[in-house]
């Protein structure tokens, strides 16, 4: 057992408008758009559960009822599938979240930024260290999921952890960017973090992806920060203050990240997951081979 408090709670900010996917997201939350046959949000929730999280907290808007419904059990549908002998379909919905995992939600009344969204969950989280997952960043890992890798790093060191990846130098203005320094234990500790700097002033090209393990103290710091980049309360700005009192590591995860907040990333993820799918791979490859022929 680790000497550090367990990471049991995860916050999922899901109140965003998803305008890049209009008209699809006019009435459907973008997090409910499927990659093959599973909504985007379910991948992130499964990643959290694999990492040992047992309390899922959605920060949502009143228009996003569909997300809560998805994670609620639907006894009627379950018994009807069982009565029809459709056991495989039953399995797919029976344990969308395992019985030991609870879901909770809090409403973000105004879209004031990611920092504000996380702050909205302060009562549900309390003082303990917790995880934040941005479902737009879909990460496929060859073995342990990204959050499991990060939780392991936390248990080994007690430090906070932020998922990072190398990004093209020209794209620093689309990410939180960290400057790191290697410790004697070989781990990269964050020395500075800045939200969406221009390439000329970026401290590195290590971009933050939407995975964080943070101390409960971050909520107090979120109250102090003013609106930053884009006029929004930025999580990055509170983390920058947190660095003075709590060590934070940058974890270059093992895996591939798809930016499903963009159409390009979403389609890449769809194709990539379909190509991994036993029932779809052959057909998809044949389709691409003959793509110029009439089907
Ligand atoms: C947010 C964070 C940013 C991070 C990014 C990862 O930005 O503010 O630091 O790099 O998520 O996806 P957003 O993409 O919501 O503008």
Q: Compute the distance between CA of residue 22 and CA of residue 26 in angstroms, rounded to an integer.
A: 6
Closest C-alpha residue for ligand 1 atom 7: 175
pLDDT in tens, 147-173: 999 999 999 999 999 999 999 999 999
Would you state the pLDDT for residue 295? 52
User: Which class does domain 9-261 fall in?
Assistant: alpha beta
Closest C-alpha residue for ligand 1 atom 6: 209
**Tokens encoding 83:** 């009565």
Helix axes 263-276, 281-289, angle to 10 degrees: 120
Q: Which residues line ligand 1 (CB under 6 A)?
A: 114, 134, 137, 175-176, 195, 207-210, 234-236, 261
Q: Side-chain half-sphere of 115: how many Cα atoms within 13 Å?
A: 26
Domain segments of the chain: what residues? 9-261, 264-295
Residues 6 or more apart in contact with residue 82 via CB below 8 angstroms: 90
Would you state the pLDDT for residue 35? 96
Question: How much is the pTM?
Answer: 0.93
- Cα angle value 63/67/72 (rounded, 5°): 125
Contacts of 20-27 with C-beta under 8 Å, sequence gap 24+, read 20/261, 20/262, 20/263, 21/263, 21/266
pLDDT of 26 higher than 90:
no
For the CA of 259, the closest atom of ligand 1 is 12
Closest C-alpha residue for ligand 1 atom 10: 175
pLDDT in tens, 31-75: 999 999 999 999 999 999 999 999 999 999 887 888 888 888 777
């Amino acid at each position: 057992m680790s000497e550090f408090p367990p990471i049991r709670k995860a916050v999922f900010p899901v109140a965003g408008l998803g305008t890049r996917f209009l008209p699809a997201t006019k009435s459907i939350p973008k997090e409910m758009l499927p990659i093959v046959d599973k909504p985007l949000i379910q991948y992130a929730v499964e990643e959290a559960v694999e990492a040992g999280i047992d309390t899922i907290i959605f920060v949502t808007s009143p228009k996003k009822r569909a997300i809560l419904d998805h994670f609620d059990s639907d006894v009627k549908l379950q018994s009807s599938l069982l009565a029809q002998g459709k056991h495989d379909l039953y399995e797919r919905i029976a344990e969308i979240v395992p019985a030991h995992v609870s879901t909770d939600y809090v409403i973000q009344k105004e879209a004031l930024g990611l920092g504000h969204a996380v702050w909205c969950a302060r009562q549900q989280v309390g003082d303990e260290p917790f995880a934040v997952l941005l479902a737009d960043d879909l990460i496929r890992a060859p073995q342990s999921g990204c959050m499991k890798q990060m939780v392991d790093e936390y248990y080994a060191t007690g430090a906070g952890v932020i998922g990072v990846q190398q990004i093209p130098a020209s794209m620093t203005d689309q990410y939180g960017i960290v400057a790191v320094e290697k410790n004697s234990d070989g781990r990269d500790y964050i020395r500075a973090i800045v939200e969406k700097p221009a390439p000329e002033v970026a401290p590195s090209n290590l971009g933050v992806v939407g995975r964080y393990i943070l101390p409960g103290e971050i909520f107090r710091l979120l109250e102090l920060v003013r609106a930053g980049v884009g006029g929004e309360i930025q999580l990055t700005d509170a983390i920058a203050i947190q660095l003075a009192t709590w060590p934070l590591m940058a974890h270059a995860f093992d895996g591939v990240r798809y930016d499903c907040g963009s159409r390009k990333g979403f389609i890449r993820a769809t194709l990539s997951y379909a190509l991994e799918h036993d029932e779809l791979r052959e057909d998809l490859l044949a389709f691409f081979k003959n793509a110029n022929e009439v089907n």
